[in-house]
């Protein structure tokens, strides 16, 4: 079949060139559509259901909202699990679906279920689905600030509320229109409200209750249409206007008549523009501000969307009031550009290096160019494939591409054709030339095909990774495999065709000086090692053992963390910290961080934003520290981790804050994935929170004593201080009050009661009745608040209720419809698997778990265990498959094993390279080892197939070995050099994102160096040892 | 060579030694390449570990609750200290009540001897002096005219008399004296115990305020579930009209205490009321026992000594610093 393809390719060479053009065209077109991002999206398929429930405490939120919502979701198709969080004023249920579920389908089924349970929820509460975005969605943030001398129309300065109004009604509607944006989420400032602030004393004078006031406001604030009349042929619409528009109009509203005198709002209350009871605040550089976050729709191109937003923001600036500025503070484009620059630079430099090497070693510029042409063509085919398969271009997916590796197959073919053509020494007629090209190609097509197939095969284990690792490495493996297959396709079609067309004329193959020099060194060396074979082999074994030991001393990490170039940190205060207190503490923190000369901007989101994509209590602030470009740093060589350490030391001095340092994207991923992040998580499920906590503490006590346990702790669930106004039921009934009435009064007085909407054009603001700030803040004296009775009398609140200060849970977490408390622990210096078994045993022995309660073991240990188990099966199988392929290729187990011996030898180099560069083992490095074994096999294949051929031809083993090795020196050196030099830029790059690729490149380079040396020296020895007793090569032709 | 053809390999090729080598290679490969999957934490986890390590330590040292804050940082954080000292603590209680005319300040004037009203000059709203003539009546018995005089100075608030009518014992004029009114403050069961006759009261109405004392405490006239504390109010200004509701702060206790602290200094730490004592750059929580308190100050019965420095403003920061071991992100 191969021969047929080859023949057609050479005969229809013009067609093949056309095909190449087609590939280029498609590739360029698809490149425009390819989603580009910095990192792969590791978010699972999840939908958030947020229900904002103002005034609900965590317990009420759970009971009234979370539970019905969760129950409604059970049995959804493709449902993986649900988890929920009930906080003050917010219920968030996160529904996670099986991988591969269509997000829109998932949202659809959820919406259907939710609409059917709406009647079960408290009135006025509306569950909403979170934005259609993933962890990469927060691509753009901006702040709205005002200059000091900026004035509003009425002459007052722009305060936080005015800025929020600008954000909500001028900026947001415009930004939301940018293509690819799913949500503009605002935090900070105050949403403007109209407040009616009654004076209890005056209300008492006229016998007016909160309810009277509320009713009056609700009934006197609407417009009504009344159809139309026709007059003299003209149609006139009839309407009755009654909407309240100004504060004055509200003042004039009549509440009721007392002794035929109208009592107006102005008689009993003040009306003013007031602040909402906010759940979140925002600060920037130590001052309050308003922050808007643009969320990108799933699957959009973050770079395009962010650029669109930035451009739109520019034009919005023109429409803002004088002195109000909107400024982008976080723009994903910066990171994506940097990361893609890094990748591009690596790929470009790698490609150039490859071309130079090809030219130097082939000594023929045309041949070098033909080979090099495979690089862009394969790249464009890969891009087409990526776009079709929905793989985005990012550091990980492009991170393992090595053009050296890609062109390996082509190199072997071109090299052989050149060699054959140059042997001819004179110009051939077309027909003969074509035949020669065909023969020469056919000669090496199988080894090179095999080589490429084997390299492809070694990537298969990566596809078996699941979860986050899977999401990170599937794109990488898919891209490499696509690139290799593309190159494979090209090297049997376009490459031979191109050779046939362009390698006309006398082919001068100048053995380049490099090759000549190499041969001069190689020949005596080869002879020598063949003599000292036992010494060399033992040296190899020592080396092998040494590097195996070395590998165990290397540190290890999971995936090298992409350095995003900016710092994010959680500032955590004690539960129950008020939002204004948090703002004060935040100011000090930001002022301190801002003192660092490296810091450009620092801003923070405190608490929960308008759309609760990240439900944080007010005691937690997400800080973003934007750094200046390095050239502006006092010491541009300061590493980012050192800077983080410096900042950490500095901010640790500030009282009352705990910190967790991370990076913006990483932070968002953590928030969304949000599983147990410790090695071992023991989840206690059950009903009663106190009991859960007791069991959890018992579990904690029992595992704390184990060896190797670290950071063991119970999730914090309590500690939210509450003032509980507890009704005296008997007293209530004596005064003829119902519990409901009392609760309404308390809720209105302190929390405020929504009593309508004030419209101003498009803008709409709530009209709220609540006590003046000075009264509602003083809870003790609030107990003296007079409550109107139906008979016109009144009683103080203290008559019918008592005030108690208690604590409630600050949040209630549930998983799969049941309350849970997590005990988490990390494990140090002990085998994780056995530790978990021991812990389970111990807990079973020591902890009594009441009926109705149960434990569940989870945590990273699960993923690690399943990943390593899967790999320990898949990797040997893959190796066996490769071996099988080799055996197939050579029909000889011995030869296959000889080739295979290159793998461990190659790995030694990788380990040593890691050790020399002081890098830990990581999955990235692991991918490097995978690529390496492929290259090592390819090297051996090339060498061995020729030695064998020679041996078959002249039956002298020794001569065949030396001759074969000498002939194949050039292709082996070439494939090795291009593969390793192609990775050199990647290994040395220090730009953004390089840290993800560096270990991989380092491993490949080190491994190829060792593998090449050993292929050239050890493989002949092994071949000789294995075959010295065989008189004849296996009879294969 | 036909590489793709599978030729059954001869048994001698598969020597035991070779298969052993194969196994060694396989395991070595698997180990070196994927050893990486076994025990690692990603860098964020390490960072977290560091944080939680520290938390853990703090947790362990719970008995050593102390906060160290450098002077300049404390200043930035707005932490202010003061000396514990003595002073007065005035406790008050807010109640509401209606203003009422003094019973002695209202007179319904009638004619002593029935007869025809011959003159009725006083009009509603007119201020009159004691003894001033309101009306004249011609007695039926003596047929003499006699004057009806105002019983005291005040304002005419009602007039039922007109010239030509018979007085016949009916009310001719009502005269009220508003210079003194009474606030009838309602005391409910929770409040009764703390209120005594003689306590001073601050009354507030429409931005005016005045002080007075409780003169009587009496049950409500119609068996309503409250007591009425009566307070005399001087109404020479005329602002305190009967019928209006007044707000009253009754001073229920006022005493000099040896030690007192500002209320915002007191924080709750593990269920105890504490005040943070400052020594140099260290801040210690001190469990205190609070005696009486008002809106601004609390009496310290025990736990503090005179002239100790304690944190007055932003004491929450110290509490937050001491308790921060519990501060976590909670996702």
Averaged pLDDT, B140-159 = 87
User: Is residue B298 over pLDDT 60?
Assistant: yes
Stronger pLDDT, A327 or B190, i.e. the higher one? A327
Report the chain A residue with the minimal C-alpha distance to residue B270.
Answer: A719
Q: Where are the alpha helices (DSSP H) in A363-466?
A: 365-389, 403-424, 430-458, 460-463
Q: What is the pLDDT of residue A271?
A: 92
Do the chains contact at B26 and A879, CB–CB below 8 Å?
Answer: yes
Average pLDDT, chain A: 84
What phi and psi values does residue A37 have, to the nearest 5 degrees?
A: -145, 175
Which whole-number Å values give the CA distances from A935 to A930, A963, A1010, B16, B220, in the listed order?
Answer: 9, 23, 12, 28, 102
Interface pTM, i.e. ipTM: 0.75
Give the per-residue pLDDT at B32: 41
Task: Decide the pairing of beta strands A786-788 and B282-287.
Answer: unpaired
- A993, A980 Cβ separation under 8 angstroms: no
**C-beta atoms of B35 and A557 within 8 A:** no
Spatial contact of A723 and A783, defined as CB atoms under 8 Å apart:
no
B207 min Cα distance to partner chain A (Å): 12
Mean pLDDT, residues B301-323 taken together: 86
Q: Which of A336, A284, A282 is nearest to A136 (CA)?
A: A336
Residue B15 clears pLDDT 80, i.e. is over it = no
What is the pLDDT confidence band of residue A1025, given thresholds at 50, 70 and 90?
Answer: confident
Rounded Cα distance between A126 and A611, Å, is 13
Closest CA to A263 of A325, A329, A331, A216: A216
Query: In DSSP terms, which residues pair with A49 in a beta bridge?
Result: A93, A129
**Higher pLDDT residue, A557 or A251?**
A251
Comparing alpha-carbon positions, the chain B residue that sits nearest to A575 is: B327
CB contact under 8 A, B41 and A559: no
User: Helices marked H in A767-922 — which ranges?
Assistant: 773-776, 779-782, 797-800, 832-846, 860-890, 893-900, 902-916
Residue B294 sits at the chain A interface (C-beta within 8 Å): no
Supply the DSSP symbol for A60: H
Q: Where are the alpha helices (DSSP H) in A579-652?
A: 579-594, 640-652
**8-37 in B: which are within 8 Å (CB) of A?**
9, 13-14, 18, 21-22, 25-26, 28-37
B293 reaches A (C-beta below 8 A): no
Provide, as residue numbers in chain B, all residues whose Cβ is less than 8 Å from the Cβ of A902: none
Chain A residues lying within 8 Å of B246, measured CB to CB: 201
Chain A residue numbers touching B190 (CB-CB < 8 A): 796, 798-799
User: H-helix or E-strand containing B265?
Assistant: none
Tell me whether residues B34 and A584 touch, CB distance under 8 A.
no
Cα separations in angstroms, A456 against A461, A550, A616:
11, 28, 46
Average pLDDT of the residues in A1025-1036: 64
**Which two three-digit tokens encode residue B115?**
């007869």
CA atoms within 13 A on the CB side of A331: 18
CB A680 within 8 A of CB A859: yes
Report chain B's terminal Cα–Cα distance, integer Å: 63
Which among B48, B189, B324 is the nearest to A660, CB-wise? Answer: B48
pLDDT at B59 over 70: no
Contact A799, B192 (CB under 8 A): no
Residue with the two structure tokens 């010239």: B163
Q: The tokens of B12 are what?
A: 């001698």
Q: Which of A381, A560, A562, A369 is nearest to A480 (CA)?
A: A381
Q: Does B78 touch chain A (CB under 8 A)?
A: yes
Contacts of A10 (CB under 8 A, 6+ apart): A434, A437, A438, A441, A496, A497, A500
Indicate the pTM of the whole model. Answer: 0.80
Measured between CA atoms, how close is B303 to chain A, in angstroms?
Answer: 22
Chain-chain contact of A879 with B225 (C-beta, under 8 angstroms): no
Contacts of B39 in chain A (CB under 8 A): 556, 827, 831-832, 864
Per the CB < 8 A criterion, the answer to whether A324 and A467 are in contact is: no
Rounded Cα distance, A603 and A566, in Å: 12
How many angstroms separate the CA of residue A898 from the nearest CA in chain B? 10
Beta strand A192-198 with A763-769 is parallel
**Alpha carbons A486 and A380: distance in angstroms, whole number:** 9
Q: How far apart are CA A960 and CA A947, in angstroms?
A: 6
Q: Which residue has the higher pLDDT, A100 or A671?
A: A100
Task: Place A341 in a pLDDT band, splitting at 50, 70 and 90.
Answer: confident
Q: Rounded distance, CA B229 to CA B226, Å?
A: 10
Residues of A in contact with B76 (CB under 8 A): 588, 591
Which of B21, B47, B70 is closest, CB to CB, to A660?
Answer: B47
Neighbours of A308 (CB within 10 A): 20
Helices (H), A653-772: 664-673, 689-704, 729-734, 739-746
Contacts of residue A409, defined as CB under 8 A and 6 or more positions apart, other chains included, come to A448, A449, A451, A452, A487, A488, A491
Closest to B184 measured CA to CA, from B152, B237, B222, B154 = B222
Section A341-353 average pLDDT: 81
Residue A549, C-beta contacts closer than 8 angstroms, at least 6 positions apart: none
Nearest to A658 among B51, B190, B247 (CB): B51
Q: Is the pLDDT of residue A666 over 70?
A: yes
Residue B43 sits at the chain A interface (C-beta within 8 Å):
yes
Give the mean model confidence (pLDDT) for residues A345-361.
80
Count CB pairs under 8 A between chains A and B: 270
Contact residues, chain B, for A573 at CB < 8 Å: 320, 324, 327
pLDDT at site A292:
93
> Among A175, A182, A185, which residue's Cα sits nearest to residue A107?
A182
Average pLDDT over residues A108-132: 89
Token digits of residue A176: 């939301």
- Quote the minimal CA–CA distance from B5 to chain A in Å: 7
Q: For residue A178, what is the DSSP state?
A: S
Q: Which residues are registered as beta bridge partners of B108? A: B174
How far is CA A236 from each of CA A222, A225, A229, A243, B47, rounded to the nearest angstrom?
20, 12, 5, 21, 71
Give the separation between CA A99 and CA A474, rounded to whole angstroms. Answer: 13
Q: Which of A639-653, A855-869, B261-275 has the lowest mean pLDDT?
A: A855-869
Of the CA atoms within 13 Å of residue A102, those in its CB half-sphere come to: 4
CB A183, CB A131: distance < 8 Å:
yes
By DSSP bridging, strand A680-686 and strand A620-627 are unpaired
β-pairing, B133-139 with B145-149?
Answer: antiparallel
Q: Looking at residue A381, what is its pLDDT? A: 92
Mutation site for B-interface testing, chosen from A270, A658, A803, A944 by largest number of B Cβ within 10 Å: A658
Choose the mutation target among A259, A462, A465, A574 for the interface with B, i.e. most B CBs under 10 Å: A574
How many CB atoms are located within 10 Å of the residue B237 CB?
A: 9
| Distance in angstroms (rounded) separating the CA atoms of residues B133 and B119 | 10
pLDDT of residue A677: 61
Q: What is the pLDDT of residues A441-500, one digit of tens each?
A: 887 787 777 777 877 887 877 788 777 778 878 888 888 889 888 988 888 888 888 888
Give B131: exposed, middle or buried? Use CB within 10 Å, 0-12, 13-18, 19+: exposed
Q: Is A51 helix (H, G, I), strand (E, B) or coil?
A: strand
The residue of chain B with its CA nearest to that of A871 is B34
With 90 as the cut, is the pLDDT of residue A1001 above it?
no
Mean pLDDT for A556-582 is 81
Longest dimension (CA), chain B: 162
The whole-number average pLDDT for the span A847-875 is 80
Q: What is the mean pLDDT of residues B153-161?
A: 87
Residue of B nearest to A547 (CA): B32
Residues of B in contact with A547 (CB under 8 A): 32
Whether B30 shows a pLDDT value over 50: the answer reads: no
Measured between CB atoms, does B323 come within 8 Å of chain A? yes
The Cβ of residue B71 has, within 10 Å, a number of other Cβ atoms equal to: 10
| Local confidence band at A510 (pLDDT 50, 70, 90 cut-offs) | low
Contacts of B14 in chain A (CB under 8 A): 893
- Residues of chain B with Cβ-Cβ distance to A889 below 8 Å are 3-4
Q: Quick check: B9 pLDDT over 60?
A: no
Task: Over range A841-860, report the average pLDDT.
Answer: 87
Is residue A929 within 8 A of residue B33, CB to CB? The reply is yes
Q: Which of A740-744, A934-938, B19-23, B183-187 has the lowest mean pLDDT?
A: B19-23
Inter-residue contact A957 to A1028 (CB < 8 Å): yes
Of residues A409 and A586, more confidently modeled: A586
pLDDT greater than 80 at residue A992: no
The pLDDT assigned to B31 comes to 42
Burial tier of B108 (Cβ tally within 10 Å: 0-12, 13-18, 19+): middle
pLDDT, position A314: 92
Identify the pLDDT of residue B327.
55
What is the distance between the alpha carbons of residues A134 and A672, in angstroms, rounded to a whole number? 8
pLDDT at A822: 87
DSSP label at residue B9: P
Contact state of B25 with A793 under an 8 Å Cβ cutoff: no
Greater pLDDT, A226 or A365: A226
pLDDT-derived band at B120 (thresholds 50, 70, 90) equals confident
* Confidence category of residue A511, pLDDT binned at 50, 70, 90: low
pLDDT of residue B14: 36
Q: For residue A111, what pLDDT is reported?
A: 93
In this predicted model, what pLDDT tens digit does every residue of A900-958 receive, in sequence order? Answer: 888 888 888 888 888 888 888 777 787 788 778 877 887 787 788 778 888 888 777 88
């Amino acid at each position: 079949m191969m021969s047929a393809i080859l023949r057609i390719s050479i005969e229809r060479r013009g067609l093949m060139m056309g095909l190449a053009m087609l590939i280029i065209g498609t590739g360029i077109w698809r490149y425009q559509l390819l989603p580009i991002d910095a990192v792969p999206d590791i978010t699972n398929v999840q939908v958030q259901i947020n229900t904002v429930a103002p005034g609900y405490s965590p317990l009420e939120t759970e009971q009234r909202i979370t539970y019905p919502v969760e129950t409604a979701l059970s049995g959804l198709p493709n449902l993986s699990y649900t988890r929920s969080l009930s906080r003050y004023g917010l219920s968030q249920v996160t529904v996670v679906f099986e991988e591969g579920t269509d997000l829109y389908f998932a949202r659809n089924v959820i919406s259907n279920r939710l609409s059917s349970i709406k009647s079960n929820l408290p009135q006025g509460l509306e569950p909403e689905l979170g934005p259609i975005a993933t962890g990469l969605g927060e691509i753009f943030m901006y702040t709205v600030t005002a200059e000091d001398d900026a004035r509003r129309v009425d002459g007052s300065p722009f305060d936080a509320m005015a800025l929020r109004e600008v954000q909500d009604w001028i900026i947001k509607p415009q930004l939301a229109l940018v293509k690819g944006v799913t949500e503009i989420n605002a935090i900070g400032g105050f949403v403007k409200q109209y407040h009616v602030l009654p004076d209890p004393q005056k209300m008492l004078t006229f016998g007016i209750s909160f309810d009277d006031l509320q009713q009056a406001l609700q009934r006197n604030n609407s417009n009504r249409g009344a159809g139309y009349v026709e007059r003299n042929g003209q149609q006139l619409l009839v309407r009755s206007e009654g909407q309240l528009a100004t504060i004055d109009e509200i003042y004039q509203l009549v509440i009721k008549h007392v002794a035929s005198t109208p009592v107006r709002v102005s008689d009993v209350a003040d009306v003013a523009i007031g602040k909402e009871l906010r759940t979140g605040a925002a600060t920037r550089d130590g001052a309050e501000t308003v922050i808007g976050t643009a969320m990108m729709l799933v699957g959009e191109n973050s770079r395009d969307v962010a650029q669109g937003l930035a451009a739109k923001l520019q034009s919005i600036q023109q429409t803002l009031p004088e002195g109000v500025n909107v400024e982008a503070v976080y723009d994903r484009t910066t990171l994506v550009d940097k990361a893609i620059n890094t990748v591009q630079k690596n790929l470009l430099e790698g490609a150039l290096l490859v071309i130079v090497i090809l030219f130097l070693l082939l000594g023929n510029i045309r041949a070098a160019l033909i080979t090099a042409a495979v690089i862009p063509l394969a790249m464009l085919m890969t891009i087409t494939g990526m776009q079709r398969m929905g793989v985005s271009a990012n550091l990980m997916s492009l991170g393992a591409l090595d053009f050296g590796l890609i062109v390996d197959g082509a190199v072997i073919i071109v090299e052989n054709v050149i060699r054959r053509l140059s042997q001819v020494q004179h110009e051939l007629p077309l027909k003969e030339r074509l035949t020669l090209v065909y023969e020469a190609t056919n000669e090496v097509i199988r080894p090179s095909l095999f080589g490429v197939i084997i390299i492809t095969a070694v990537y298969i284990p990566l596809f078996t990774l699941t979860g986050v690792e899977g999401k990170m490495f599937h794109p990488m493996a898919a891209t490499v495999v696509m690139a290799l297959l593309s190159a494979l396709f090209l090297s049997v079609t376009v490459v031979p065709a191109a050779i046939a067309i362009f390698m006309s004329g006398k082919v001068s193959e100048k053995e380049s000086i490099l090759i000549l020099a190499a041969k001069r060194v190689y020949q005596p060396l080869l002879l020598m090692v063949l003599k000292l074979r036992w010494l060399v082999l033992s040296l190899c074994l020592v080396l092998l053992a040494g590097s195996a030991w070395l590998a165990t001393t290397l540190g290890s990490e999971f995936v090298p963390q992409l350095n995003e170039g900016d710092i994010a940190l959680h500032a955590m205060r004690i539960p129950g910290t008020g939002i204004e207190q948090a703002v004060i503490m935040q100011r000090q923190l930001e002022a301190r961080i801002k003192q660092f000369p490296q810091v450009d901007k620092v801003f923070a989101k405190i608490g929960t934003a308008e759309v609760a994509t990240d439900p944080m209590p007010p005691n937690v602030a997400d800080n973003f520290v934007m750094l200046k470009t390095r050239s502006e740093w006092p010491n541009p060589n300061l590493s980012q981790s050192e800077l983080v350490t410096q900042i950490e030391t500095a901010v640790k001095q500030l009282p009352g804050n705990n910190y967790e340092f991370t990076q913006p994207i990483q932070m968002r991923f953590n928030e969304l994935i949000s599983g147990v992040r410790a090695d071992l998580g023991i989840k206690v499920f059950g009903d009663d929170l106190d009991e859960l906590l007791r069991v959890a503490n018992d579990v904690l006590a029992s595992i704390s004593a184990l060896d190797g346990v670290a950071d063991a702790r119970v999730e914090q669930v309590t500690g939210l201080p509450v003032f509980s106004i507890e009704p005296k039921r008997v007293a209530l009934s004596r005064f003829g009050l119902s519990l409901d009435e009392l609760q309404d009064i308390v809720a209105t007085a302190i929390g405020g009661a929504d009593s309508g909407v004030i419209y101003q054009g498009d803008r709409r603001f709530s009209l709220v009745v609540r006590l003046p700030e000075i009264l509602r803040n003083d809870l003790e004296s609030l107990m003296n608040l007079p409550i109107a009775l139906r008979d016109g009398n009144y009683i103080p609140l203290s008559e019918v209720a008592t005030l108690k200060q208690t604590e409630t849970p600050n949040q209630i977490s549930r998983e799969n419809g049941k309350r849970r408390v997590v005990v988490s622990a990390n494990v140090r210096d002990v085998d994780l698997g056995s530790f978990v078994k021991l812990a389970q045993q111990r807990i079973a022995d020591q902890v009594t778990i009441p009926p109705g309660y149960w434990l569940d073991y989870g945590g990273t240990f699960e993923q690690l265990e399943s990943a390593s188990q899967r790999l320990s099966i898949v990797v040997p199988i893959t190796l066996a498959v490769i071996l099988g392929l080799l055996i197939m290729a050579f029909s000889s187990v011995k030869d296959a094993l000889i080739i295979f011996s290159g793998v461990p030898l190659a790995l030694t180099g990788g380990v040593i390279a890691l050790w020399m560069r002081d890098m830990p083992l990581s999955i990235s490095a692991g991918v490097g080892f995978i690529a390496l074994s492929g290259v090592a096999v390819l090297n051996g294949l090339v060498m061995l197939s020729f030695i064998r051929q020679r041996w078959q031809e002249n039956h002298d083993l020794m001569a065949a070995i030396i001759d074969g090795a000498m002939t194949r020196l050039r292709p082996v050196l070439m494939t090795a050099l291009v593969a390793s030099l192609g990775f050199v830029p990647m290994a040395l790059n220090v730009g953004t994102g390089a840290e993800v690729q560096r270990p991989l490149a380092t491993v490949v380079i080190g491994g190829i160096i060792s593998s090449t040396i050993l292929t050239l020296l050890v493989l002949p020895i092994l071949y000789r040892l294995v075959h010295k007793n065989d008189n004849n090569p296996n009879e294969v032709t | 060579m036909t590489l793709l053809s599978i030729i059954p390999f001869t048994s001698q090729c598969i020597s035991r030694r070779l298969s052993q080598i194969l196994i060694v290679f396989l395991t070595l490969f698997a180990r070196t390449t994927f050893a990486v999957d076994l025990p690692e934490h990603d860098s964020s986890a390490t960072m977290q570990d560091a944080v939680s390590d520290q938390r853990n330590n703090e947790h362990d040292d719970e008995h050593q609750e102390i906060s160290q804050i450098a002077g300049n940082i404390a200043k930035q954080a707005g932490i202010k200290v003061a000396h514990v000292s003595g002073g007065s603590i005035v406790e008050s209680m807010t109640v509401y009540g209606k203003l009422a005319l003094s019973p002695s300040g209202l007179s319904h004037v009638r004619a002593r001897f029935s007869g025809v009203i011959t003159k009725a000059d006083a009009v509603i709203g007119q201020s009159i002096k004691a003894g001033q003539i309101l009306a004249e009546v011609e007695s039926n018995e003596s047929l003499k005219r006699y004057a009806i005089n105002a019983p005291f100075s005040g304002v005419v608030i009602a007039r039922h008399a007109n010239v030509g009518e018979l007085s016949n014992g009916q009310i001719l004029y009502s005269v009220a004296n508003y210079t003194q009114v009474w606030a009838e403050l309602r005391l409910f069961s929770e409040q009764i115990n703390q209120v005594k006759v003689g306590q001073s009261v601050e009354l507030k109405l429409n931005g005016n305020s005045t002080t007075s004392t409780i003169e009587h405490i009496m049950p409500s006239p119609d068996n309503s579930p409250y007591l009425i504390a009566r307070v005399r109010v001087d109404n020479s200004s005329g602002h305190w009209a009967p019928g209006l509701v007044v707000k009253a702060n009754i001073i229920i206790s006022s005493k000099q205490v040896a030690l007192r602290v500002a209320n915002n200094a007191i924080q709750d730490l593990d269920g105890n009321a504490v005040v943070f004592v400052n020594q140099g750059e260290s801040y210690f929580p001190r469990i205190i026992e609070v005696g009486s308190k008002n809106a601004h100050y609390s009496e310290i019965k025990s736990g503090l000594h005179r002239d100790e420095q304690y944190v007055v403003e932003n004491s929450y920061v110290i509490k937050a610093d001491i308790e921060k071991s519990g501060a976590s992100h909670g996702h």
